Amino acid sequence: MATQNPPHDAAPVPTVPGPIPLASAPTAFTPPPDACDAHCHIFGPAARYPFSPGRSYTPPDSGIEDFERLQERLGLSRAVFVQASCHGTDNTAMVDAIKRGRGRYAGVAMIDESFSDADLEDLHEVGVRGTRFNFVAHLGGAPDLDTFWRLVNRVAELNWHIVLHFDAKDLPTHADLLAAMPVPYVIDHMARPPADEGVEQEPFQQLLALMARDERCWVKISCAERLTAGKVAPYDDVIPFARALIDAAPDRVLWGTDWPHPNMAIMPDEGHLLDLLVRYAPDEQVRNRILVDNPTTLYDFS
């Protein structure tokens, strides 16, 4: 199993910006009890949780204390921490953050073949319920597929799901991979379609078809700030994408902030991202399904 590097005193110099200091409080609605941010990250602090030597970017510290201040500001109470590539397969920062939640937090780990069965069972005991694979070019591209399948089959024994991070243009080329998945799989960030190409673009139409026909397929309606052509709020051009996915399968849609927004040049206001959910899902019952019921299905918060 990948082990944590020893702590050190010299803080690495960030190569990407951090989140805004204080998010707006939501104004469009009040989140229901047990509302969940189902896609967020914990970065450092690097003095305690060093970043991976092979990382493609260095974020500023954005630790659990910072995240919990954001949760309080937004009125959310649950979260799913997704291991990001800057920490590699050393999941220690994420695991410690999950423990702090005492059942309110869950996790999606990054693993490799150095993880023993006992290591995976330890992650499961903490609250990890999935593993993530990056297929995105700027984060290293597709994994070795033989290794991918060996790991997928191992975590299937724990009833984990698989989180997949694709560039939109690559989604159609992985149709056979998705068809062969033995467990539920979650597509990050609506499959990252460029909003200016419209909902008719082929990768997004394939995603809609998957949502309609494959009950294993889930999607996160996250990262409007990455998808919009305008780069800043109000993200109007992203709304048709989220609405189409919700219409296709409202019981398999998750929402998240993507805090602290790695590799973003212009940082969003998380309060605006949460308010945007009212425009995605005007119906309160559907919104509550996305924020509470759906994440509870994949993550057995206790």
**189-210: average pLDDT:** 96
Query: What pLDDT band is residue 302 in, cutting at 50, 70 and 90?
Result: confident
The closest of 49, 62, 121, 127 to 88, measured between CA atoms, is: 49
Please determine, for residue 301, whether its predicted confidence score (pLDDT) is greater than 70: yes
What is the pLDDT at residue 136?
86
- By annotation, the residues acting in catalysis are 258
Q: Is 146 exposed, middle or buried (0-12, 13-18, 19+ CB in 10 A)?
A: exposed
Q: What is the pLDDT of residue 137?
A: 74
Does the structure show a pLDDT above 50 at 202? yes
Each residue of 13-63: pLDDT tens digit?
Answer: 999 999 999 999 999 999 999 999 999 999 999 999 999 998 989 999 999
Whether pTM > 0.75 for this model: the answer is yes
Query: How is residue 145 written in tokens?
Result: 């597929």
Provide the Cα torsion 232, 16, 218, 196; round to 10°: 40
Which residues are CB-contacts of 126 (< 8 A; sequence separation ≥ 6)?
Answer: 95, 98, 99, 107
- CATH 3.20.20.140 correct for 36-296: yes
On the question of pLDDT at 6 being above 50, the answer is: no
Rounded mean pLDDT of 67-93?
97
Measured between alpha carbons, how far is 69 from 8 in angstroms, rounded to an integer?
26
10, pLDDT greater than 70: no
- Residue pLDDT, tens place only, 205-217: 999 999 999 999 9
Residue 141 pLDDT: 75
Q: Does the pLDDT value for residue 3 go beyond 80?
A: no
Q: Is the pLDDT of residue 199 over 70?
A: yes
CA 36, chain centre distance (Å): 12
Query: In the predicted model, is pLDDT for residue 72 greater than 50?
Result: yes
- Give the strands of the sheet with 253-254, arranged side by side: 36-40, 78-82, 105-109, 128-134, 161-165, 185-187, 217-220, 253-254
Structure tokens, 286? 């559907």
Q: Amino acid identity, residue 86?
A: C
Rounded to the nearest 10°, the torsion over CA 250, 259, 160, 242 is 20
With beta carbons less than 8 A apart as the criterion, state whether 194 and 169 touch. no
pLDDT in tens, 275-300: 999 999 999 999 999 999 999 999 98
